[in-house]
Amino acid sequence: MADPSYPDDLKYHAEHDWARIEGDSATFGITWYAQDALGEVVFFDPPEVGAEVSKDQAYTEVESVKAVSDVFAPLSGEITAVNDALGDKPETINEDPYGEGWLVKVKLSDPSEVDSLMDASEYQASLD
Amino acid sequence: MIREADDTLTIFERSKPGRRAFSPPELDVPERPLDELLSPELRRAEAPRLPEVSEPEIVRHYNRLSKRNFDLDTGFYPLGSCTMKHNPKLHERIAALPGHARLHPLQDPHQAQGALELMWRLQEALGEIAGLPHVSLQPSAGSQGELAGVLLTRAYQEDRGERRTKVLTPDTAHGTNPATVTMGGYEVVKVRSDTEGNVDLDDLRAKADEDVACLMLTNPSTLGLFETGIEEIERIVHGVGATLYYDGANLNAIMGICRPGDMGFDIVHFNLHKSFTQPHGGGGPGAGPIAVSERIEPYLPRPQVVRREASTNGAEPFYELDHDRPKSIGRLRGFQGNYGVFVRSYAYICSLGAPGLREASETAVLNANYLLARLRREGVMEYVPVAYERLCMHEFVLSGEPMRRELHIKTLDLAKRLLDHGVHPPTVYFPLIVEEALMVEPTETETKETLDRFAEVVAEILKEAREDPEVARHAPYTTPARRLDEAGAARRPIVRQAM
Amino acid sequence: MTRYTSVTDADRSEMLATIGVSSIEELFADIPAGVRLSRPLSLGQGSSEQEVFEEFRALAARNTSAEDEVSFLGGGMYDHYVPALVDSIILRSEFLTPYTPYQPEISQGGLQAMFEYQTAISELTGLPVSNASVYEGPSAVAAAGYVAKHTNRRKRFVVSRGVHPHARECLRTMAGAWDMEVVEAPLNQGTTELPELTDDVSAVIVQQPNFLGAVEDLETIAKAAHEAGGLAVAACDPLPLALLKTPGESGIDVAVGEGQSLGNRLDFGGPSFGFFAATEALMRRMPGRIAGETKDVDGKRGFVLTLQTREQHIRREKATSNICTAQALNALAGVIYLSWLGRRGVVELVELMLQRTAYARERLTALDGVFGLHDRPVVREFALELDAPVQRVIARCREHGVNPGYPLGRDYPEHENGLLVAITERRTRADIDRLVDALSAAVAAEKPVVGVTR
């Protein structure tokens, strides 16, 4: 995806991660800004299903040719699914960061944490 | 179908059953059945699929490959922090003498007196250059020297009943420093640089506490700048009982001018493949001896080369390997170190002597400052300003950030376009604290004409970019390969020939 | 002006003027007076090329090399024949003088050679991923330990007493820094006897063939390591791997080793190279450079350094290793040598050594006062036990121009009169017969008086 984009239906974390909330579950990924800063993604280290993630803590890494970036959990919970398709095609994170480039799905342990995240306009403002 | 003319065919793809380069010596003992000597269940299923090629093919193959390499003997190689100085040809001749080259590492010291004396003399010389009395030649390269330094620090402090947990490294440090700290079992704490490019003394004071085991410092730093506050740094670090470690990557600036030992460093490593002319070999071999102060000596790696004075008058002293070092950190590698490298580096020291080494450093610093001045005169500073406006030592760092903004080419593009001019680019994107960094180290062995030419080429590339940035963005054009898909290589790694 | 610099007095004046200073001294203004050296280094005045050559020739002449005696020394480095084409290729400036290939467009030769080297090591070890070299054999064992530590974060290494003593010491050096324990597995009749493995074992480390020459059963060792949930590491002598069941076939996770015997000189112990090969699962935890195949923008095949995010210059304190400069030129010698041997030649060479070694072992153990230290299968090295003080026996053999091997006493006090004998292809039957005569006479002369048995 060539141009910046920050969908309105997502919540954002200051470490450039997004969350799509679906009831007491959420899908996580990295933002357009994060994938652009990183450059061509070459590897996503998939965490294990069942692992606990904590809000504001790194839960995995994504790599480009010459950089490694921690990926932070915007919310706490337990990983229920991992995007295995990224194993073969990590570049999907660049091509479609909010769609096919999602990283994990999480069952939230404290849905009230959502209140602390930014909406699209707040996040965009934080980038300027 | 691969064409015969394809110059990227591997040696495996040139293989053809039945060809050979090796003819075995005669079997001159009674032959016994293979199964009797090595039963089938101990043997592999099939022979390793090594290439089947004749000698002329091997020679042509590797000669062809060699022509797809750029090298120091062919052109200017101002790769910052790598000290790509001339590798004297004499060194290959003497290293190949059978008395050196075919000497077995487990030979009895009585039959290896020439080698042990050479090592002892190199130890003495390096100790004098470092201003520290004790040297171990064992570490295989700079990063293993660093590891030795961290382990020595631990051994020394634990012997005093201290268990410290952190090691300080400046934000300009080579990646080997923090990697070594972790490998040595410590936590890395980064120290900021100040606006002059020195270690920020306030930040150092704030972070230097009783948990700090060591500060690892490169001086001149990777910015090519001498730490003007080195005396205060020494007071702060030793004040909290930590050791001071000198990363010798940039020693080429100061040989015979000042010495790490006199600055208060406890441990120093040398890169014999940088300041002391061991050819770099496309990624090694090197050697990373260390010099240490009196208080660190008991912990040096085993074994140490020592000289025993003769008990009778007029007899020769005896050189031996001292294994009996109860406080030693132990071994870092096998045998006595990279002896073949010691031969070359000691020959260099003998050739130059004290005046020559000093002149080498003076000329390295002169060449770097001259190149910087020439770049200024070419008017390129508007686009690639020097990161810190000071006299530099043996190297300097430019920032390509204005170039990226104004001319729309990145440091990477400038580097790639230099390749079309037959110049090896400087180190790029390092140190990390300078945006779009270019780190230039010309070394003392280059002529003024070469430096002039480099300045002109940089100016030419920037001029070209003003007219058409696309040229640099797609460079190089004239090299054996053009820009390579590194992302593709990392996503789906192919790391061996498919058979 | 030194002979390796090119700045004339006239150049210097002009350069200083361009810089805008009046003397070289001014360039060093940033160095505080308090740390300046106020005298010349005490190192001599420098010498001509010819004088340096003579001096180094004289030093070389005071060494007894494998050129000067019939040497059966081994113990990790071996006097193999290095073909002339190795020297002729690695002395080419294009291989000898570049730095690490940071700019792939102008380093295709070196990168492709690394790729070929990795392929050859994969073939020898039967493991799919090889890096482009580490320093040398013993430190490679510690490097494998670091991979194991990161893989399973367990507390203990079990290392066979058959692993090279220097390698065991390297591992111990590092284990201390990692707060890990090293437990030694004893040898029984020459091969490793594993203790009961507990679930805190990070890696089991053996050597193939082991330091005493014996061929180990890697398969059983790998199985035991895996059952305990640890990694299986084998330090391998690369030439015997041409015949032996490979680490890959045996279920080993990491194969490392000393590469000197592949086309490198003895050089009193270095530089040589270490190899490091592993399973796919460990690829991203490996130390060192790895070359990979790719394409350039014109679609032409090319090679690059790949998986660099493992390395210190990118991952810094989280790197898989601190290694930077390794042994590229020595590894190049290795792949040239393996290409020279070729698929059939490597087997022929090792079979020749196997036959001559068997001959030597049979003749020597038939001598009065000479015993096999074990009777396990061996390839090109075996251990003896002498019924006489080994150092004195060696001294007597030397009088006849024969260096019979490496005395084991320092490393294996339990074999005070042990002797390790290596038979490379350079040792002919005539040489072996000479060893037999020399050892026979020496042992007879040094043997304790009749009536005292061992």
- CATH number, domain of A88, equals 2.40.50.100
| Partner residue opposite C107 with nearest CB, options B69, B357, B444 | B69
Q: Which of A44, A62, A65 to mutate to test the interface with B (most CBs of B within 10 A)?
A: A65
Q: How many CB pairs under 8 A join A and C?
A: 16
The number of domains in chain A is: 1
For residue B311, what pLDDT is reported?
80
Percent of the residues in chain B that have a pLDDT greater than 70, as a whole number: 99
Distance between A65 CA and the closest CA of chain B, angstroms: 6
User: What residues of chain B lie within 8 A of the CB of C344, using their CB?
Assistant: 20, 47, 52
Burial degree of B220 (CB within 10 A; 0-12, 13-18, 19+): buried
Give the span between the Cα atoms of C319 and C313, in whole angstroms: 8
Is the pLDDT higher at B172 or at B4?
A: B172
Considering the domain architecture, whether residues C387 and C301 belong to the same structural domain is answered as no
Considering the domain architecture, whether residues C207 and C91 belong to the same structural domain is answered as yes
User: What residues of chain C lie within 8 A of the CB of B45, using their CB?
Assistant: 245, 249
Q: Is residue A51 one of the residues assigned to a domain?
A: yes
Does this complex have an ipTM over 0.85?
yes
Give the span between the Cα atoms of B54 and B58, in whole angstroms: 6
Cα angle: C431, vertex C434, C440; to 5 degrees: 140
Closest residue in C to A69 (Cα) is C315
Considering the domain architecture, whether residues C292 and C375 belong to the same structural domain is answered as no
Q: pTM, whole model, 2 decimals?
A: 0.97
If contacts are CB pairs under 8 Å, which of residues 284-343 in chain C contact chain A?
284, 308-309, 314-315, 318
CB B488 within 8 A of CB B433: no
Q: Is residue C323 one of the residues assigned to a domain?
A: yes
Interchain CB distance below 8 Å, B284 and C76 = no
If contacts are CB pairs under 8 Å, which of residues 248-307 in chain B contact chain C?
254-259, 262-263, 271, 273, 277, 279-287, 301-302
Cα angle: C447, vertex C453, C454; to 5 degrees: 85
Could you tell me what percentage of chain C is helix, strand and coil, using 3-state DSSP and rounding each to the nearest 5? 45, 15, 40
Q: Is residue A118 one of the residues assigned to a domain?
A: no
Q: Is residue C170 one of the residues assigned to a domain?
A: yes
Give the span between the Cα atoms of C127 and B195, in whole angstroms: 50
* Two structure tokens written together for C236: 């391998």
The Cβ of residue C167 has, within 10 Å, a number of other Cβ atoms equal to 30
Q: How far apart are the first and last CA of chain B?
A: 15
Every domain range in chain B assigned CATH 3.90.1150.10 = 361-473
If contacts are CB pairs under 8 Å, which of residues 72-101 in chain B contact chain C?
72-74, 77, 79, 82, 84-88, 90, 92-101
Percent of the residues in chain C that have a pLDDT greater than 70, as a whole number: 99
* Mean pLDDT for the stretch of residues B201-217: 98
Residues in contact with C179: Cβ distance below 8 Å, sequence separation at least 6, in sequence order: B185, C155
Interchain CB distance below 8 Å, B491 and A90 = yes
Q: How many CB pairs under 8 A join A and B?
A: 18
Picking from B413, B154, B130, B164, the residue whose alpha carbon sits closest to that of residue B275 is B130
* Two structure tokens written together for B233: 């740094």
* Mean pLDDT for the stretch of residues B63-80: 97
User: What residues of chain B lie within 8 A of the CB of A64, using their CB?
Assistant: 487
Res. B2: pLDDT tops 80: no
Distance between C222 CA and the closest CA of chain A, angstroms: 26
Q: Which of B15, B58, B62 to mutate to test the interface with C (most CBs of C within 10 A)?
A: B62
If contacts are CB pairs under 8 Å, which of residues 226-255 in chain B contact chain C?
226, 228, 230-231, 254-255
Res. B220: pLDDT tops 50: yes
Using the Cβ of C348 and the Cβ atoms of chain B, whether some distance falls under 8 Å is answered with yes
For residue C1, what pLDDT is reported?
77
Cα angle: B132, vertex B135, B141; to 5 degrees: 115
* Two structure tokens written together for B442: 């010309």
User: Interface partners of A (3+ CB pairs, < 8 Å)?
Assistant: B, C
Show contacts of A59-63: CB within 8 Å, 24+ apart: A59/A104, A60/A103, A60/A104, A62/A30, A62/A38, A62/A90, A62/A93, A63/B490, A63/C309
Average pLDDT over chain B reads 97
Interchain CB distance below 8 Å, A68 and C314 = yes
Distance between B304 CA and the closest CA of chain C, angstroms: 14
User: What residues of chain C lie within 8 A of the CB of A64, using their CB?
Assistant: 309
If contacts are CB pairs under 8 Å, which of residues 127-186 in chain B contact chain C?
128-129, 131, 140-144, 146-147, 150-151, 154, 174-176, 178-185
Interchain CB distance below 8 Å, B496 and C128 = yes
The number of domains in chain C is: 2
* Two structure tokens written together for B445: 């062995």
Would you give the DSSP letter of residue C107? B
Interchain CB distance below 8 Å, B55 and C128 = no
For residue B5, what pLDDT is reported?
60
CB C438 within 8 A of CB C396: yes
Closest residue in C to A45 (Cα) is C284
Burial degree of B114 (CB within 10 A; 0-12, 13-18, 19+): buried
| Partner residue opposite C270 with nearest CB, options B24, B98, B337 | B337
| Domain CATH for C388 | 3.90.1150.10
Interchain CB distance below 8 Å, B151 and C173 = yes
User: What residues of chain C lie within 8 A of the CB of B482, using their CB?
Assistant: 105, 296-298, 300
Using the Cβ of B429 and the Cβ atoms of chain A, whether some distance falls under 8 Å is answered with yes
Q: Is residue A3 one of the residues assigned to a domain?
A: no
Using the Cβ of A58 and the Cβ atoms of chain C, whether some distance falls under 8 Å is answered with no
User: What residues of chain C lie within 8 A of the CB of B69, using their CB?
Assistant: 94-95, 98, 106-110
Give the span between the Cα atoms of A78 and A76, in whole angstroms: 7
Considering the domain architecture, whether residues C265 and C327 belong to the same structural domain is answered as yes
Considering the domain architecture, whether residues C310 and C442 belong to the same structural domain is answered as no
Interchain CB distance below 8 Å, A65 and B486 = yes
Using the Cβ of B484 and the Cβ atoms of chain A, whether some distance falls under 8 Å is answered with no
Considering the domain architecture, whether residues C281 and C139 belong to the same structural domain is answered as yes
Give the span between the Cα atoms of A77 and C133, in whole angstroms: 43
Please report which confidence band the pLDDT of residue B4 belongs to, taking 50, 70 and 90 as the band edges.
very low
Considering the domain architecture, whether residues C350 and C225 belong to the same structural domain is answered as no
Give the residues across from B386 on adjacent strands: B398
Please report which confidence band the pLDDT of residue B7 belongs to, taking 50, 70 and 90 as the band edges.
confident
User: What residues of chain A lie within 8 A of the CB of C309, using their CB?
Assistant: 42-43, 63-68
The fold of the B361-473 domain, in CATH, is Aspartate Aminotransferase, domain 1 (3.90.1150)
Interchain CB distance below 8 Å, A66 and C315 = no
Residues C403-440: pLDDT tens digits?
Answer: 999 999 999 999 999 999 999 999 999 999 999 999 99
Percent of the residues in chain B that have a pLDDT greater than 90, as a whole number: 97
Rg of the Cα trace of chain C?
26
For residue C293, what pLDDT is reported?
98
Q: How far is CA C440 from the centre of its chain?
A: 32
Which stretches within B24-141 are classed as H helix?
Answer: 34-37, 55-66, 90-95, 98-101, 113-130
Distance between C132 CA and the closest CA of chain A, angstroms: 18
Distance between B411 CA and the closest CA of chain A, angstroms: 15
For residue C333, what pLDDT is reported?
98
Q: Is residue C413 one of the residues assigned to a domain?
A: yes
Residue ranges making up the domain that contains A48: 11-109
Residue ranges making up the domain that contains C382: 71-78+342-446
Would you give the DSSP letter of residue C63? B
User: Interface partners of B (3+ CB pairs, < 8 Å)?
Assistant: A, C
Please provide the DSSP assignment of B50-66 as one string.
-----HHHHHHHHHHHH
| Partner residue opposite A66 with nearest CB, options C284, C308, C318 | C308
Report domain B90-349's class.
alpha beta
CB B412 within 8 A of CB A65: no
For residue B314, what pLDDT is reported?
80
* Two structure tokens written together for C348: 């022929």
Interchain CB distance below 8 Å, A68 and C309 = yes
Percent of the residues in chain C that have a pLDDT greater than 90, as a whole number: 98
Among C292, C318, C336, where does a domain finish? C336
Distance between A111 CA and the closest CA of chain B, angstroms: 35
Considering the domain architecture, whether residues C298 and C371 belong to the same structural domain is answered as no
* Two structure tokens written together for C122: 């994969």
Considering the domain architecture, whether residues C142 and C198 belong to the same structural domain is answered as yes
Please report which confidence band the pLDDT of residue C450 belongs to, taking 50, 70 and 90 as the band edges.
low
Closest residue in C to B445 (Cα) is C5
Q: Each residue's pLDDT tens digit in chain A (128 positions)?
A: 678 999 999 999 999 999 999 999 999 999 999 999 999 999 998 999 999 999 999 999 999 998 999 999 999 999 999 999 999 999 999 999 999 999 999 999 999 999 999 999 999 999 97
Considering the domain architecture, whether residues C314 and C393 belong to the same structural domain is answered as no
* Mean pLDDT for the stretch of residues C87-111: 98
| Partner residue opposite A91 with nearest CB, options B429, B486, B491 | B491
Residues in contact with A125: Cβ distance below 8 Å, sequence separation at least 6, in sequence order: none
User: Interface partners of C (3+ CB pairs, < 8 Å)?
Assistant: A, B
Distance between B467 CA and the closest CA of chain C, angstroms: 23
